[in-house]
Structure 1
Amino acid sequence: MQNLLTAVQPFLVEGLATILVAVFTWLSASIKGHLSDRSAHLVLQSEAIFREALHRALETGAAQISEATATSTPQKIEAVVRYVNKSVPDAVVGLKAQRDVLEDLARSKLRQFGVQL
């Protein structure tokens, strides 16, 4: 009996080691997948917060513009974009908002507030 155990022991140890490696690999993949899903969800949440902040700043900036504060359309748009950059710089950076996009959004918000362009 002792001879049998001595003969089988290397195979048992190797089999157990293989099973443990498989379990740890599965566990690692499960944890990584869970963290990846959670991370993606957090990124989407932060982008939504940045978008909301950006649009609120655009609305506030557009609401502050009147015919007296800026004489030309480019000046009106510039005033809104300047307000947005000053008000929510993290949102502008976080969304990687480009200048031309901000100008288009400012133009749209100004129109929504009935400002003549």
Structure 2
Amino acid sequence: MPEEVQLISETAGLFSPKQVADAHVVSIEAGYYATPIGLDGWMLNILTAGASPERSMMDALTQIMLGGIFRGIILVYLGYFNGVVKKCYRRRLLAKKETEGEQKR
């Protein structure tokens, strides 16, 4: 697994295939359109609701009330993720230059 993927995945944690499958089964049986898993999944579910059908007035109100706040939080996440990718890229680029320098000697 690339270093960037590992570091970014650590922010929300990884869920086993069984956990994901079980959550999907529960959502499907309950008639829900989406299956958020974990806090970050719930936040992304609210942010990406768009024109998807909503079964609960409470969920709809939550989407309306928290959408803007969650957008700000996601921008912080994106800044962090971009920083992780840039740091890993620079590290790989430096390692490549060092390897090329050693080969020229």
Question: What interval of TM-score do these two structures reach, taking the shorter chain for normalisation?
Answer: 0.3 to 0.5
Please identify the structure whose Cα radius of gyration is greater.
1
TM-score calculated relative to the size of structure 2 = 0.39
